[in-house]
Amino acid sequence: MKVLVAVKRVADANVKVRAKADGTDVDLNNVKMAINPFCEIAVEEAVRLKESGVAEEVVAVSIGDKSCQEQIRTSLALGADRGIQVETDANLQPLAIAKLLKAVIDRESPDLIILGKQSIDSDNNQTGQMLAALAGLAQGTFASEVVLEDGHARVTREVDGGLQTLNLKLPAVVTTDLRLNEPRYASLPNIMKAKKKPMDVLTPEELGVDVASKLTMVKVEPPAERSAGIIVESVEQLVDKLKNEAKVIS
Amino acid sequence: MDFRLSEEQEMLVATVRRFVDEEIMPHEEMVERTDQVPPELRQHILQKSVEAGLCAAGMPVELGGGGLDSMGLVLMYRELGRANMALQYAVPRPSNILQACVGEQREKYLYPCITGEKIDCLAMTEPDAGSDVRSMNCRAERNGDNWVINGTKHFISHAELSDFVILFAATGVDQTARGPRKRITSFLIDMDAPGLVRRDGYHSVSHRGYHNNILEFTDCVVPHSQVLGDVDKGFDVANDWLGATRLEVAASCLGRCDRALELAAEYAAQRRQFNQTIGSFQGVSFKLADMEVQRRAAELLLYDAAMKDVEGRMTDMDAAIAKLYCTEALAFISDEALQIHGGMGLMSDLPLERIWRDHRVERIWEGTSEVQRLIISRSILRPLEQGN
């Protein structure tokens, strides 16, 4: 069984990002970059499937300029077997990513595709769903548990009302939630091995995908600064303020 | 010249940083408060380090180690150096000198150290032999197939946790033009050897939880097979394998420079006095600038030495410069960071207090700053002196 994992290069979760002065984008100059935490969970899940003998091969895919090879390499150091980079400098929207991943799936024919539920930079939460629709595959999003048996994936989903369990026919698309697993560290021996693992580079042209976006980002600006709160003396005072100042209760 | 890290090195840094954040930092305050690392916690960290492949990271892969070169080790020790010394020492780093083990010595000492099953310590310093290490009084005398050892060693780090000690003892004297010169031999001695008594050492201002010990040898008899390397060639063994330990000290100091500077910058950007952040006062902001300059310089000097070591061309002077500069940069940076914090900086509630306390030993052990300056100045002058 083959598992394909998509990984995205994003600003490190610990970095405080700023908007560029001209408001055209987020300023990523000299910012520490990392693998999107939800994608890291996806890699971990795939590697665990391999370690438990369910999967034979784990392929990590990333889309972007050459620098995203770093995140593929990190995935290889975490235990993926080989990498695929779809090289493009274009500013890609989820639909273009989903189309490119669909084209990769057509080539690779994986039995399971695992993605992060969203990336911490743009928080779109769209790619996995779009991919499943484009590829005509079953989808289990926001997974907190994945069990594979008899050509099916039993996916427990975190939904607003609690937990929902789906039984998906493979091949299927799964997107990870935060509690699916706790990703490991890349161990030193695996870091050393990562360099020797194969990495293919493809282009959108080779995959026959038009990545031109119909969306234009108009402006990026920081959220309005909030003033500091106050500590009230008593419950009575709190109720009074909620009633008369905030006017949220009557 | 390219000082960028490779992908592997970046990943190594990320792994060690996360290891420190998750496995070590949460226990720091407890160790600082109690001056102890509970044995089960030490075992847990050791086990985690084995899983992460960080145990014996500097030993060659062929021997079962991590196979990191000097540059990789420096990066690893820099990250580990951010944290409490006693805790980060739960990540086994067997002395390189053990690679001089031969035959059964490998089975008994080298390999178990690489798997983390045994811990070594190194005994060189004596009450009357510090920087002048060759003047040591601890001696070993040959008696048939055995050696009889007598003498006292002190400041022996983590001997209380060790299974054996790598001991340096005098085994004779040569008469030279500059006077008598002791011959030194290195031995592997199990901590439970008859005639060896370990006593708790002194209470140090630096590195809570990381203890030194006194070792007393009284007619301690060991077989000849316990000699490490060749008889009378103990310092050759040490010179072959121990040169890079100065880089280890330098790197861990650099890690603490990173942390002290982060703390100071954060505080300067947030703390408000006279209706503005204290960082907007030139008196504070220029301190930060000077600290950053020193940190960068320390980093470059250390990386320079490490990269030369990888290529086998690091000189004694290179290691001395790195050790000297990084330890003194930490002295400056930790002191200024504390000054920026004002009174709060002195309180043990913040990590800065211990970084400031811990820095003091770094200018003393692994060769004092003065010894490093001696090495550097001699390297400059020797080629110019007559008759050389």
CATH pick for B241-386 out of 1.10.630.10, 1.10.10.10, 1.20.140.10, 3.60.9.10? 1.20.140.10
The pTM for the full model equals 0.88
Instruction: Kindly tell me if the per-residue pLDDT of B352 is higher than 70.
Output: yes
Separation CA A166–CA B25 (nearest Å)? 40
The mean pLDDT value for B340-369 works out to: 94
Is A14 a domain residue? yes
Is A44 a domain residue? yes
| List of chain B residues whose C-beta atoms are within 8 Å of the C-beta of residue A74 | 11, 14
Question: Which tokens go with A46?
Answer: 């795939």
pLDDT band at B199; cut points 50, 70, 90: very high
Regarding the domain delimited by B120-232, which CATH topology (the fold level of the hierarchy) does it fall under?
Answer: Butyryl-CoA Dehydrogenase, subunit A; domain 2 (2.40.110)
Question: Which tokens go with B227?
Answer: 């000699």
Please report which helix (H) or strand (E) contains residue A106, including its range: helix A94-108
| List of chain B residues whose C-beta atoms are within 8 Å of the C-beta of residue A185 | 15, 18-19, 52
Domain count, chain A: 1
Task: Give the residue numbers of B annotated as catalytic, written as ranges.
Answer: 366
pLDDT tens digits, one per residue of A214-238: 888 899 998 888 888 889 999 999 9
Tell whether A189 is within 8 A of chain B (Cβ).
yes
3-state SS, residue A79:
coil
- Look up the domain containing A86 and give its range: 2-244
**Of the candidates B7, B10, B53, which has its C-beta nearest A188's C-beta?**
B53
**Of the candidates B8, B19, B52, which has its C-beta nearest A192's C-beta?**
B8
Burial class (CB in 10 A: 0-12, 13-18, 19+), B216: middle
Which residue type sits at B276?
A: Q
Q: At what angle do helices B245-270 and B70-81 cross, to 10 degrees?
A: 40
Is A249 a domain residue? no
Alpha-carbon distance B80 to nearest alpha carbon in chain A (angstroms)? 15
Nearest residue in chain B measured CA to CA from A184: B52
Please tell me whether the peptide bond between A171 and the residue prior to it is cis, using omega within 30 degrees of 0: yes
Q: For chain B, give the secondary structure using H, E and C.
A: CCCCCCHHHHHHHHHHHHHHHHHHHHHHHHHHHHCCCCHHHHHHHHHHHHHCCCCCCCCCHHHCCCCCCHHHHHHHHHHHHCCCHHHHCCCCCCCHHHHHCCCHHHHHHHHHHHCCCCCEEEECCECCECCCHHHCCCEEEEECCEEEEEEEEEEEECHHHCCEEEEEEEEEEEEECCEEEEEEEEEEEECCCCCEEEEECCCCCCCCCCCEEEEEEEEEEEEHHHEECCCCEHHHHHHHHHCCHHHHHHHHHHHHHHHHHHHHHHHHHHCEECCEEHHHCHHHHHHHHHHHHHHHHHHHHHHHHHHHHHCCCCCHHHHHHHHHHHHHHHHHHHHHHHHHHHHHHHCCCCCHHHHHHHHHHHCCCCCCHHHHHHHHHHHHHHHHCCCC
Please report which helix (H) or strand (E) contains residue A139, including its range: strand A138-149
pLDDT band at B388; cut points 50, 70, 90: low
Instruction: Kindly tell me if the per-residue pLDDT of B387 is higher than 70.
Output: no
Tell whether A15 is within 8 A of chain B (Cβ).
no
The mean pLDDT value for B57-74 works out to: 95
Separation CA A9–CA A175 (nearest Å)? 17
| List of chain A residues whose C-beta atoms are within 8 Å of the C-beta of residue B67 | 188, 192
Inter-chain residue contact A185 with B15, CB threshold 8 Å = yes
3-state SS, residue A199:
strand
Separation CA B159–CA B120 (nearest Å)? 8
The mean pLDDT value for B57-82 works out to: 96
CATH number of the domain bearing residue A92: 3.40.50.620
Q: Name residues whose C-beta falls within 8 Å of residue B318's C-beta, 6 or more positions apart in sequence.
A: B304, B305, B308, B309
Tally of CB atoms within 10 A around B293: 11
Interface of A with B in 63-82 (CB under 8 A): 69-70, 73-74, 77
The mean pLDDT value for B305-333 works out to: 96
Interface of A with B in 87-126 (CB under 8 A): none
Give how far Cα B371 sits from Cα of A225, B157, B252, B329, Å: 54, 20, 19, 17
CA B77, chain centre distance (Å): 9
Question: Measured at the alpha carbon of residue A35, what is the angle toward residues A31 and A40, in degrees to the nearest 5?
Answer: 155
Higher-confidence residue: A144 or B237? A144
Separation CA B129–CA B123 (nearest Å)? 12
Give the range among A29-33, B210-214, B293-297 with minimum mean pLDDT.
A29-33
Question: Which tokens go with B260?
Answer: 């002290």
Alpha-carbon distance B7 to nearest alpha carbon in chain A (angstroms)? 7
Give yes or no for a contact between B340 and B290, defined as CB atoms under 8 angstroms apart: no
Q: Could you give the percent of chain B with pLDDT greater than 70?
A: 99
Question: Which tokens go with B110?
Answer: 């080298």
Give how far Cα B92 sits from Cα of A129, B45, B49, B198, Å: 46, 10, 8, 21
**Of the candidates B12, B51, B61, which has its C-beta nearest A191's C-beta?**
B12
Average pLDDT score, chain A = 94
Tell whether A9 is within 8 A of chain B (Cβ).
no
Question: Which tokens go with A20?
Answer: 């560029």
Instruction: Kindly tell me if the per-residue pLDDT of B238 is higher than 90.
Output: no
Inter-chain residue contact B7 with A195, CB threshold 8 Å = yes
Is A50 a domain residue? yes
A195: DSSP letter:
T
Question: Which tokens go with B85?
Answer: 């010394």
The mean pLDDT value for B380-384 works out to: 93
Domains B7-93 and B120-232 share a fold: no
Instruction: Kindly tell me if the per-residue pLDDT of B276 is higher than 60.
Output: yes
Q: Domain spans of chain B?
A: 7-93, 120-232, 241-386
Higher-confidence residue: B261 or B7? B261
Query: Pairing relation of β-strands A57-64 and A82-87?
Result: parallel
Inter-chain residue contact A188 with B66, CB threshold 8 Å = yes
pLDDT tens digits, one per residue of A37-83: 999 999 999 999 999 999 999 999 999 999 999 999 999 999 999 99
A66: DSSP letter:
G
Question: Which tokens go with B243?
Answer: 């040169």
Query: Pairing relation of β-strands B276-277 and A33-35?
Result: unpaired
| List of chain A residues whose C-beta atoms are within 8 Å of the C-beta of residue B19 | 185
| List of chain A residues whose C-beta atoms are within 8 Å of the C-beta of residue B14 | 34, 74, 186
Inter-chain residue contact A73 with B11, CB threshold 8 Å = yes
Radius of gyration of chain A (CA): 21
Inter-chain residue contact A187 with B52, CB threshold 8 Å = yes
| List of chain A residues whose C-beta atoms are within 8 Å of the C-beta of residue B63 | none
Query: Pairing relation of β-strands B164-176 and B120-123?
Result: parallel
Query: Pairing relation of β-strands B196-200 and A138-149?
Result: unpaired
Give yes or no for a contact between A27 and A18, defined as CB atoms under 8 angstroms apart: yes
Separation CA A17–CA A36 (nearest Å)? 15
Phi-psi sector, A233: left (phi>0), alpha (psi -120 to 50), beta? alpha
Q: How many CB pairs under 8 A join A and B?
A: 45
Q: What is the pLDDT of residue B194?
A: 96
Q: Return the CATH number of the domain spanning residue range B7-93.
A: 1.10.540.10
| List of chain B residues whose C-beta atoms are within 8 Å of the C-beta of residue A69 | 7
